[in-house]
Amino acid sequence: MHSPSSSLNSNQWFVCPQPNPKAETRLFFFPYAGGGPAVFNKWAVDLPANIEARIAHYPGRGSRYNEPPIKELAVLVEKIFQTIQPLLDKPFAFFGHSLGGLVAFELARTLHQNNLPQPTALFISACDAPHILDHHLLLHNLPDAQFLTSLKELNGIPAELLNQPDVMQLLMPTLRADFELIETYRFAMTSPLNCPVLVFGGLDDPRVSRERLEGWAIHANAHFELKYFPGDHFFIHTARKSVIAEILSVLDSTK
């Protein structure tokens, strides 16, 4: 079994917008490509008093902007695995959107392989099932202009960021690294997860098809459910309240 490394700090890797030592459950959020902890700040405010939010903070963004972004999913998951262990002292659940869904899934698998506690629920949002990821389209090596055009076409980055060229220029190395993470990832089959797996999709998401969302079923040993919300790839912003209500209803039922 791995042991948590003293050189990796839980507080650096997980932002806690509203610390709540009395919370019964921790809900970990894993952002999408290019996303920092700020993308889930509003969510933390909407959670009831018995749930504490912890938001994964990948290097290369936010207050970790000066750190080089990680380009391999296995490396990112291993570092998160090392730092999350002290935070697993009470029931917990994972929610990951797009790239974050892949991170949350691989992290749950790593915990399982090391005989560590499992999430009470794994929420995967707007993310292709890992065994049918689309590797035909490699974006991370494209020249800047083509890279940005492709991101717009794929609906891979929120419009408010794409419309700020200065911000996009600063974010470019991190975005490339995040897309490299996804595009170089290769799934290796192991036994399905024993925790409930709940998959969320946007009804008008041009990027993630229904078939690729339904594919998650084979990775769930216990309960599997697929729910759709109005909106595109970023329905989690426009339908946030509905998504949170669904998460809370599931967490209530797993107690």
Query: 3-class DSSP state for residue 232?
Result: coil
12 backbone φψ class: left, alpha, beta (φ>0; ψ -120 to 50) = alpha
Say which residues have a Cβ less than 8 Å from residue 231's Cβ, sequence separation at least 6.
202, 203, 204, 205, 237, 238, 239
235: phi then psi, degrees, rounded to nearest 5: -60, -20
Q: Which amino acid is at 145?
A: A
Based on the residue annotation, tell me whether 63 is a catalytic residue of this protein. Answer: no
C-alpha to C-alpha distance for 122 and 91, rounded to whole angstroms: 12
Q: Which residue in 7, 10, 98, 249 is the catalytic one?
A: 98
Do 139 and 152 form a contact (C-beta atoms < 8 A)? no
Catalytic residues: 98
